[in-house]
Amino acid sequence: MRIRNIAVFSAAIFVGAVCGSLIGPRPVAAVAREIIDLQRDVTSLLQGQKDLSTQMTQDHTVIKTIVGGFNDNISRLSGSMGSLQKSVQDIQANSGTRLDTMSTQVQGLSDNLEEIKSRLGKLNQQLVDLQNAVQNVDAKISSGGAAPPATGTGTATPTASALPPAASSGSLPGMPPPSADTLYSNGLRDIQGGKYELARAEFQDYLKYYGKTDLASNAQFYVGEIAYKQRNYQQAIAEYDKVLSNYPKSFKMAPALLHRGMALVELGQKSSGIRDLREVVRRFPGSEEDRYARAKLKELGVAISASR
């Protein structure tokens, strides 16, 4: 029994020694190695943090440079857009003046052509009269007829057709007026040269002395044009009305109606002006006035319709 107790006690001591060796404190060398590894890890972590901070600083600098470049580009683009907008506004402001100038020049050319046709007609008639007179003289000479009757001073009496216009219709007291061709040509030249007051006087003289000729409606139209160019729109409307009412067969009907409509719009009478512009579209399709009327209606934001 005693021996058995001793054996059990010895076994217990052995087991305790083994367990103590297993759960006892670790050697000092192992602890020091772990500390060194931990310090190395902390150093690496700090270095990584430092590198990350440096990279973020560099990225911030790059981003700031890029943003600055964008701002400069936006500023330059804004300046370019402002210049472009000003150019567009200038073009829009000048387009009306250019259009009026071109229209006047085209009308002047048309009037010159009409004047040339009128002169050719007169020359042709004079040529026919001259040929008839020559034939009559030849016939009298061939038949041995008497010479044309003479006046008391020994000169032949000219026929009415051979007299100049002022003499055939009776001379005015004092200085006779310039010829119709002179007044009309001078008026065209002066209105195209911007001498509006002088041109107005010349066209008014033409209407005064030659109001029944073929170009009288043109002279009346140009009196209205001068008032329109001087922004006297009320007077221009009154002059255009005379063209429309007094010369219903004039080829200035279309431009007179067009410009009366534009003058009404300028005076704020938009509905009346639109009515005139639509009337131009209805009565003169395919003409230059039709194109201008359509452009003006589009500018006003009005549906282009030929219905009244």
How many structural domains comprise the chain?
Answer: 2
Q: Give burial (CB, 10 Å; 0-12/13-18/19+) of 157.
A: exposed
**For the purposes of burial, counting CB atoms within 10 Å of the CB of 161, is it exposed (0-12), middle (13-18) or buried (19 or more)?**
exposed
Same domain? For 71 and 192 the reply is: no
Please indicate, yes or no, if residue 269 is contained in any of the structural domains. yes
Whether 92 is in a domain gets the answer no
Instruction: Print the domain residue range for 308.
Output: 179-308
* Residue 129 belongs to some domain of the structure: no
Separation CA 252–CA 222 (nearest Å): 10
Please check whether residue 238 lies inside any domain of the structure. yes
Domain assignment present for 110: no
Q: Structure tokens of 298?
A: 């589009």
Residue 35's pLDDT is 85
Supply 149's token pair: 């009757």
CATH number of the domain that 252 lies in?
1.25.40.10
* The pLDDT of residue 81: 75
- Final residue in a domain of this structure, among 44, 78, 112: 78
- Domain presence at residue 153: no
Task: Report the pLDDT value the prediction gives residue 157, as an integer from 0 to 100.
Answer: 37
Task: Indicate whether 217 belongs to any domain.
Answer: yes
202 within some domain: yes
pLDDT recorded at residue 79: 78
DSSP letters for the chain:
-HHHHHHHHHHHHHHHHHHHHHHSPPPHHHHHHHHHHHHHHHHHHHHHHHHHHHHHHHHHHHHHHHHHHHHHHHHHHHHHHHHHHHHHHHHHHHHHHHHHHHHHHHHHHHHHHHHHHHHHHHHHHHHHHHHHHHHHHHHHHHHTPPPPPB-TTS-BPPPGGGS-HHHHT-PPSSSPPPPHHHHHHHHHHHHHTT-HHHHHHHHHHHHHHHTTSTTHHHHHHHHHHHHHHTT-HHHHHHHHHHHHHH-TT-TTHHHHHHHHHHHHHHTT-HHHHHHHHHHHHHHSTTSHHHHHHHHHHHHTT-------
**How high is the mean pLDDT in each 10-residue block of the chain (308 residues)?**
61 60 62 82 80 78 77 76 72 59 65 68 62 51 42 38 36 72 95 96 96 95 97 97 96 96 97 96 96 96 70
- Report the candidate in 217, 214, 213, 191 with the shortest Cα–Cα distance to residue 202: 191
- pLDDT recorded at residue 86: 74
